Structure 1
Amino acid sequence: MRHRYSILFFPLHVIVDFLSLNVAFVGAYWLKFQQVEHVTQPPYAAFWALFNMIWLLEILIIKPYTFPRQLFKVYHLIKKLLILMAIHIAIISIYWVAVKGYYYSREHLLYTYILFTGMALAFRVGSLVFLREYRARGYNNRRYIIVGYGKLAVSIQNFYNAHPEMGFRFYGYFDQPSAENGGLLKGSYDDLSAYIKQEDIDCVYCCMPYIDNRYLKIIAENAEAADYQVKLLVDFRGFLARGASVEYHDFLPVLNLSSQMLADFQVNTLKRSFDLLFSIAALGLGMPLFIVLATITKFTSAGPIFYAQERIGRGGKPFKIYKFRSMYVDSEKSGPVLSGGLLDNRITPWGRFMRSTRLDEVPQFYNVLIGDMSVVGPRPERQHFIDQIVEIAPEYRSLLKVKPGITSIGQIKYGYASNIDEMVQRLRYDLLYPKRRSFLFDMWIIAQTLRVMAQGRGK
Structure 2
Amino acid sequence: MIRQNQRFLTQLYMLADLFVTLIVFLTAYWLKFESELLPHANSVPFKTYTLWGTIYSFATVLIGVYLQFYTPKRRKSFSYEFLKVLQVQGVSFLGLLSLLFFVKEVHVSREFLIIFIAMNIVVVSFYRFLLKRALTSFRRQGFNKRFIVILGAGSVGRKFYDNLQNNPELGYEVIGFLDDFQSEHEHEHRYMKPIIGRLDELEQTLNREPIDDVIVALPLAAYDKYADIIKVCEKSGVKTLIIPDFFDVLPARPFFDNFAGIPLINVRDVPLDELTNRVMKRWFDILFSLLAIIVTSPLMLFVIIGIKLTSPGPVLFKQERMGLDRKTFYMYKFRSMRVLARTSSDTEWTVKNDPRRTKFGSFLRRTSLDELPQFFNVLLGDMSVVGPRPERPYFVNQFKEEIPKYMIKHQIRPGITGWAQTNGLRGDTSIQERIVHDIFYIENWTFLFDIKIIYKTVLKGLINKNAY
Structure 1, unaligned stretches of length 5 or more? 279-341, 343-352, 358-388, 401-411, 448-459
The residue aligned with 1:203 is 213
- 164, 179, 189: which is aligned to 2:199? 189
AA partner of residue 218 (structure 1): D
The residue aligned with 1:120 is 124
Aligned pair in 2 of structure 1 residues 182, 201: CA closer, same or farther (>3 Å)? Answer: same
Cα distance in structure 2, aligned partners of 1:161 and 1:187: 22
The residue aligned with 1:395 is 323
Cα RMSD, aligned residues only: 4.8
Aligned pair in 2 of structure 1 residues 87, 210: CA closer, same or farther (>3 Å)? Answer: same
Q: 1:30 aligns to what SS in structure 2? A: helix
Q: Is 2:184 the partner of 1:180?
A: yes
Q: Is 2:218 the partner of 1:217?
A: no
Could you tell me how far 1:80 is from its partner in structure 2? 1.5
CA contact (8 A) 2:153 2:177 kept: yes
Could you tell me how far 1:166 is from its partner in structure 2? 1.5
CA contact (8 A) 2:323 2:383 kept: no
Higher mean Cα deviation, 160-169 or 116-125?
116-125
AA partner of residue 323 (structure 2): E
Q: TM-score, normalised by structure 2?
A: 0.55
Residue by residue, what CA displacement relative to the aligned partner does 1:156-178 show, whole Å, maximum 9, x if unpaired? 11111112222211111111135
The residue aligned with 1:431 is 414
Aligned pair in 2 of structure 1 residues 10, 46: CA closer, same or farther (>3 Å)? Answer: same
Q: 2:108 aligns to what SS in structure 1? A: coil
Q: 1:70 aligns to what SS in structure 2? A: coil
CA contact (8 A) 1:205 1:230 kept: yes
Matches within 5 A, 1:160-179: 160-179=164-183
Could you tell me how far 1:117 is from its partner in structure 2? 2.8
CA contact (8 A) 1:146 1:153 kept: yes
Cα distance in structure 2, aligned partners of 1:37 and 1:106: 13
Q: Is 2:182 the partner of 1:151?
A: no
Matches within 5 A, 1:271-290: 271=277
Q: Is 2:17 the partner of 1:28?
A: no
CA contact (8 A) 1:393 1:424 kept: no
Q: 2:186 aligns to what SS in structure 1? A: coil
CA contact (8 A) 1:148 1:210 kept: no
Q: Is 2:99 the partner of 1:63?
A: no
CA contact (8 A) 1:132 1:166 kept: yes
Could you tell me how far 1:15 is from its partner in structure 2? 1.1
Could you tell me how far 1:145 is from its partner in structure 2? 1.0
Aligned pair in 2 of structure 1 residues 424, 171: CA closer, same or farther (>3 Å)? Answer: closer
CA contact (8 A) 1:3 1:140 kept: yes
Higher mean Cα deviation, 109-118 or 152-161?
109-118
Q: TM-score, normalised by structure 1?
A: 0.56
Cα distance in structure 2, aligned partners of 1:226 and 1:2: 20
Residue by residue, what CA displacement relative to the aligned partner does 1:97-153 show, whole Å, maximum 9, x if unpaired? 777866333442233234323431232122212222222222221111111121110
Cα distance in structure 2, aligned partners of 1:224 and 1:422: 50
Cα distance in structure 1, aligned partners of 2:327 and 2:155: 40
Q: 2:69 aligns to what SS in structure 1? A: coil
Q: 1:169 aligns to what SS in structure 2? A: strand
Cα distance in structure 1, aligned partners of 2:259 and 2:200: 34
Q: Is 2:11 the partner of 1:11?
A: yes
Q: 2:185 aligns to what SS in structure 1? A: coil
CA contact (8 A) 2:18 2:58 kept: no
Could you tell me how far 1:238 is from its partner in structure 2? 4.2
CA contact (8 A) 1:176 1:188 kept: yes
Could you tell me how far 1:58 is from its partner in structure 2? 2.1
Cα distance in structure 1, aligned partners of 2:380 and 2:107: 51
Matches within 5 A, 1:14-413: 14-34=14-34, 40-42=46-48, 44-45=49-50, 47-52=52-57, 54-71=59-76, 73-92=77-96, 103-183=107-187, 185-209=195-219, 212-241=222-251, 246-249=256-259, 252-255=262-265, 268=274, 270-271=276-277, 392-395=320-323
Aligned pair in 2 of structure 1 residues 415, 102: CA closer, same or farther (>3 Å)? Answer: farther
CA contact (8 A) 1:135 1:166 kept: yes
CA contact (8 A) 1:223 1:230 kept: yes
CA contact (8 A) 2:79 2:446 kept: no
Cα distance in structure 1, aligned partners of 2:158 and 2:213: 16
Cα distance in structure 1, aligned partners of 2:81 and 2:102: 32
Cα distance in structure 1, aligned partners of 2:109 and 2:89: 19
Aligned pair in 2 of structure 1 residues 77, 29: CA closer, same or farther (>3 Å)? Answer: same
Could you tell me how far 1:231 is from its partner in structure 2? 1.1
CA contact (8 A) 1:205 1:232 kept: yes
Could you tell me how far 1:263 is from its partner in structure 2? 7.1
Cα distance in structure 1, aligned partners of 2:181 and 2:382: 64
Could you tell me how far 1:154 is from its partner in structure 2? 0.7
CA contact (8 A) 1:150 1:210 kept: no
Cα distance in structure 2, aligned partners of 1:444 and 1:86: 23
The residue aligned with 2:302 is none
Aligned pair in 2 of structure 1 residues 217, 240: CA closer, same or farther (>3 Å)? Answer: closer
Cα distance in structure 2, aligned partners of 1:413 and 1:67: 44
Could you tell me how far 1:226 is from its partner in structure 2? 1.9
AA partner of residue 56 (structure 2): F
Q: How many residues align?
A: 325
Cα distance in structure 2, aligned partners of 1:256 and 1:210: 19
Cα distance in structure 1, aligned partners of 2:213 and 2:114: 45
Cα distance in structure 2, aligned partners of 1:425 and 1:274: 12
Residue by residue, what CA displacement relative to the aligned partner does 1:14-71 show, whole Å, maximum 9, x if unpaired? 11111111111122112221189975434x3553355235424422431212134211
